[in-house]
Each structure stands twice: as C-alpha cells, then as structure tokens.
C-alpha cells in the first residue's frame, strides 16, 4: 500500500510505502500518480489530504478494496463535481447515500484509492488532464462502464462527515466534464438549466467546452481477478421466487430447468394468483416429486409487488433469485452466478435477460443504474430488508424503487453479460393491468406517468428533477401533434401538474381490488 499525500489536491507533499518515503522523479501530483502506478502496478495507491493522514486506519482501507477492480473514495469536507450535474444526469450514481458504501463515480480527493494496474488502464486516454480531482472523476466515470467498480465508501475513514460538502469544480470545469464524458447535446441542456434556474449565462464555459477532446464511449480493458476460493455449503444456498398468473405451461418448463441445474436451489417459492375467488390452482404438477422444496401460495389478489413481498417472507437461503414465470435457463446458470458473485466480491447480480433472437447490447460487466426484478440474484441479507412498493402495483417502476432500496442499504447492483437466460415474453398472463393506469383514458394524459413521478419525488435531487423535466419536454415534442412550441409548453406544464396531482393520490388507491 502506497500513500500519496497532497495539499488541496494541488501540491504534492510526499509518497510513503511501508513507513518509508519514496524517491520520485516527478513533482506534480498528477505525474506522481502516474509514476507510482507504473512503478508499483500491483500496489494499492491511496491519495490523501495532508490533514487526514494521521487518522488513517490501514486495515479499514485495505478491506474497502477486496478486488483490484475497485476504486473508492470518501468526501470528508469537499467534493469536485457539483450537484448541478443532476441537470443532465439522473442515474442513481449522482445522488449517493453518503452513509453507506454506494456506487458512484463522484470521486473526492480527500481520501481514496485505486490499484496501480487499474489506474494505468486509463493513462493513454487521460494523460493530458492537469487537474487531479478532474482526473479522479474521469477515471471513475469511464471506468464504471468498463468493469471498474467505483464507490463512495465511509469505511475508508472513520470520521463524521461535514454535512455541507464544498464543491470545488468551477462552472467551466463542469461544462468541460460534460463535454468530455457525455453526448454533446447535453451541453445545451446544461446551459439552458444554468440560465433558467441559476440565473447565469455561462457562454464562455459553453464555448470552451466544444474544443475539448471527447472521452464519451471510450473503452478500456480492466483486468478482472480470477476465481476466488470455493464456496462453503452455507454460502451457496439459493431460494427462487416466482409470481405467476395464468401461465401454468411456462411454470412447468421453468421448474424442469431448475431441476436440471448443476447447482439446485433449496426451494422454489411460487405465488400463484387468480382474481376469481371460486377458482382453484392450475398448477397440479407442483405436487409431483421435485429435487427441491416447492413453497406454493394460491391467492386471489393480483399484483407482482404483493406476490413478491409474500414470497420474500418465505426465503430462508443466503441468496434469493428473482425470476419471471416465462423464462428459460441453461443448466449451469445458478452455479456460474454464484461463482461470479464470489469472484467479483459483490452482493447483487443482474443477469442478462434476452428475448429469443435478441443480441447482447452491453458486453462488459459493470455497475448497473437499474435493477431487474425478473433477473436478479441478491444476498438475502439485503433483499429481505426491502419491499416492493404497493403504490407502484400494476404500474411501472417497482423494480427501480426496489433497486434504490438495495443501494441505500449499501448493496451495489452489477450487470453481468455472460450470465444469460431467455425471456419468452409470454402473450398470456402477466401483471401490467388496468387500475392506477386509468389516467391513460383521460383527455389529458399526465407526463411523466404518476408512478414515474413517485420515483422522481422519492429519489431525485432538485437539479435532477429540473433536468429531467427539461429533457422530457424536449424529447416528447417529436412524438405529439402540437407544432406551436408555446402551446406545447403550456400543454406539458398542465400534464406535469396533473402527474404530480395523481402521484399524491397513489397512496389512496386501493390496488387490492384491481382485477385482470
């Protein structure tokens, strides 16, 4: 472990390895950073503001980097990128929960680290950057799309955080960062938001940003670690939860897929629903002999949220697989998924869900901005502390909400392209039914949907809300009939207010009576 001690992320003071000061050729902090990475690629390089160095706990720092593809930092008093990044980015990474280990590329120069060989993967792309804090955020922003797991982790430094973090980036830095790491169209939205909400007109910052080299969609190769130690018996137990509605044939095929797994689940929990109170179960084959325990509930209340919550109460294993009833899986999927969870040192995997004939879009393992309630394997320690929201029943967004609950507990969500299964998208059955979607039949349709508005109010910062609204208005203009932009704007304002009004009513809607 090597410590790079600096003052204000500008002045390099010293580099220390095993209590000894290193002799280096470079004097600037960025050149020292690259020199250390080249000389010590196998070492963990920790950057640290001078005043915090005496309070470092080396054991806690080492534990925060379980694999070499981890980059982590912690904001004690300052951060670089300001909240205004939310104007053009509404992913969970830009509004981190600072009380837990949280996936984010918003690096801080206060204290943090990365392994030398991982840092070197970015040197060719980012060598000309002259601002150390800008460099750290750039590494994380690009790295997050290329198998580098980036976190704000409070366990790095055991100190109470300053609640009013100071953002060091100037307006020109933010525009430059957006120009280099996002599609160029976002610069105009950022400029508009500064004019409308900040009452500023940063035309010089906008102009300068167009002359910067873009890193958008740049790819690097991060070396992933080989398989770690084998699982103990207690590590690898899995329960599967499946809500189902009028898809008996699909369920039977899926059970045979689980029966053919090289790693069998401990129990498969099936919540069968039929709104007809006089109906009987359509799954008689559940009474057959299966190589795992079947837990079956037959209920007359429909809704995937309610069904999954009921299934979660039956989970007893260390891991829980969320599955749809119309999927097909290969025999080694569960075994390989468990191996990858251990190798990557993570607590949640989103598996690659592909429809028949569909090709993989994202080809790299990476931190995921969403969550799939039909294709996720989650540590029960976290899964059982979360619930699917009854307010989002029969709508859309319940999986996004559940994923945010996991993140706020410190559970990162990792997408894995090589762990594939087939999602058949059955035409019969399913849960997307009328109910709280009745607004679609009104003369004025809300924009966004009230369920999306629920998520916005729950999880977005003020700049994220404003940026989302501007982006929505711009994108939807092409998909509607009003040509006059002034009339369109007034119409969208009404739709937005209607969405807010309907969102406030979500908790008063009785979803338990909704029928197919």
Strand partners, 14: 5
Give, as one character, the DSSP assignment of residue 425.
-
Pairing label, strands 319-323, 375-379: antiparallel
Given this model, what pLDDT does residue 450 score?
Answer: 93
Residue positions counted in the chain:
516
Q: Considering Cα of 174, then 179, then 181, then 184, what sign does the dihedral take?
A: positive
Given this model, what pLDDT does residue 234 score?
Answer: 46
**CA 183-184-185 angle, 5° bins:** 95
Give, as one character, the DSSP assignment of residue 81.
S
Element (H, E) at 294: strand 293-299
pLDDT tens-digit readout, 86-98: 999 999 999 999 9
Taking phi first (over 0 means left), then psi (-120 to 50 degrees means alpha), and beta for anything else, what does residue 370 get? beta
Q: What is the pTM of this model?
A: 0.93
Three-state SS at 158:
coil
Given this model, what pLDDT does residue 45 score?
Answer: 98
Element (H, E) at 496: helix 485-505
Given this model, what pLDDT does residue 436 score?
Answer: 47
Given this model, what pLDDT does residue 124 score?
Answer: 96
Inform me whether the pLDDT recorded for 435 exceeds 90: no
Domain 233-423: CATH superfamily, name plus number: Spore Coat Polysaccharide Biosynthesis Protein SpsA; Chain A (3.90.550.10)
Query: What phi and psi values does residue 298 have, to the nearest 5 degrees?
Result: -110, 115
Query: What phi and psi values does residue 506 have, to the nearest 5 degrees?
Result: -55, -40
Place of tokens 């029943």: 393
Q: If we measure between CA atoms, which residue out of 157, 150, 159 comes closest to residue 59?
A: 157
Pairing label, strands 319-323, 348-354: unpaired
Taking phi first (over 0 means left), then psi (-120 to 50 degrees means alpha), and beta for anything else, what does residue 20 get? beta
| Rounded distance between C-alpha atoms, residue 33 and residue 28, angstroms | 9
| Rounded distance between C-alpha atoms, residue 391 and residue 508, angstroms | 9
Give, as one character, the DSSP assignment of residue 232.
P
Query: 227: pLDDT confidence band, cut at 50, 70 and 90?
Result: low
Given this model, what pLDDT does residue 57 score?
Answer: 87
Q: If we measure between CA atoms, which residue out of 295, 344, 288, 343 comes closest to residue 317?
A: 295
Q: Find the mean pLDDT for residues 277-285.
A: 96
Q: Treating both helix axes as pointing N-terminal to C-terminal, what angle do 132-143 and 29-39 enclose, rounded to 10 degrees?
A: 50
């Amino acid at each position: 472990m090597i410590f790079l001690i600096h003052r204000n992320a500008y002045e390099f003071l010293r580099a220390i390895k095993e209590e000894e000061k290193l002799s280096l050729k470079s004097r600037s902090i960025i050149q020292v950073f690259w020199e250390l990475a080249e000389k010590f690629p196998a070492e963990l390089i920790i950057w640290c503001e001078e005043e915090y160095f005496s309070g470092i706990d080396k054991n806690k720092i080492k534990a925060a980097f379980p694999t070499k593809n981890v980059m982590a930092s912690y904001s004690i008093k300052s951060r670089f990128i300001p909240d205004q990044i939310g104007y053009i980015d509404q992913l969970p990474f830009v509004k981190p929960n600072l009380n837990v280990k949280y996936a984010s590329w918003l690096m801080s120069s206060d204290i943090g680290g990365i392994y030398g060989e991982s840092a070197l993967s970015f040197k060719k792309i980012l060598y000309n950057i002259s601002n150390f804090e800008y460099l750290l955020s750039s590494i994380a922003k690009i790295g997050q799309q290329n198998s580098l797991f980036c976190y704000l982790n409070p366990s790095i430094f055991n100190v109470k955080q300053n609640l009013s973090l100071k953002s060091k980036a100037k307006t020109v830095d933010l525009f430059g960062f957006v120009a280099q790491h996002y599609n160029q169209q976002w610069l105009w939205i950022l400029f508009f938001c500064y004019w409308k909400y900040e009452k500023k007109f940063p035309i010089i910052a906008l102009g300068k940003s167009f002359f910067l080299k873009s890193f958008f969609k740049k790819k690097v190769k991060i070396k992933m670690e080989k398989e770690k130690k084998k699982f103990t018996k207690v590590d690898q137990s899995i329960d599967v939860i499946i809500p189902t509605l009028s898809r008996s044939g699909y369920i039977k095929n899926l059970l045979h897929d689980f029966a053919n797994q090289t790693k069998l689940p401990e129990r498969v929990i099936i919540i069968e629903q039929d709104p007809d109170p006089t109906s009987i179960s359509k799954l008689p084959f559940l009474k057959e002999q299966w190589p795992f325990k079947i837990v079956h509930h037959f209920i007359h209340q429909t809704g995937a949220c309610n069904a999954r919550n009921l299934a979660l109460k039956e989970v007893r294993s260390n891991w829980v697989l969320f599955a749809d009833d119309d999927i097909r899986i290969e025999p080694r999927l569960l075994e390989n998924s468990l191996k990858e969870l251990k190798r990557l040192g993570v607590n949640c995997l989103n598996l690659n869900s592909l429809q028949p004939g569909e090709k993989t879009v994202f080809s790299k393992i990476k931190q995921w901005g969403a969550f799939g309630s039909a294709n996720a394997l989650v540590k029960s320690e976290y899964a059982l502390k979360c619930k699917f929201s009854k307010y989002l029943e029969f709508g859309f967004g319940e999986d996004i909400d559940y994923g945010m609950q996991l993140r706020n507990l410190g559970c990162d969500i990792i997408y894995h392209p090589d762990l594939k299964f087939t999602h058949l998208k059955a035409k019969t059955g399913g849960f997307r039914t009328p109910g709280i979607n009745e607004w679609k039949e009104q003369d004025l349709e809300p924009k966004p949907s009230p369920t999306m508005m629920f998520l916005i109010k729950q999880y977005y910062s003020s700049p994220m809300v404003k940026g989302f609204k501007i982006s929505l208005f711009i994108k939807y203009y092409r998909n509607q009939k009003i040509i006059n932009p002034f009339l369109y704007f007034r119409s969208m304002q009404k739709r937005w207010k209607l969405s807010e009004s309907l969102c406030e009513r979500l908790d008063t809607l009785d979803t338990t009576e909704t029928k197919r």
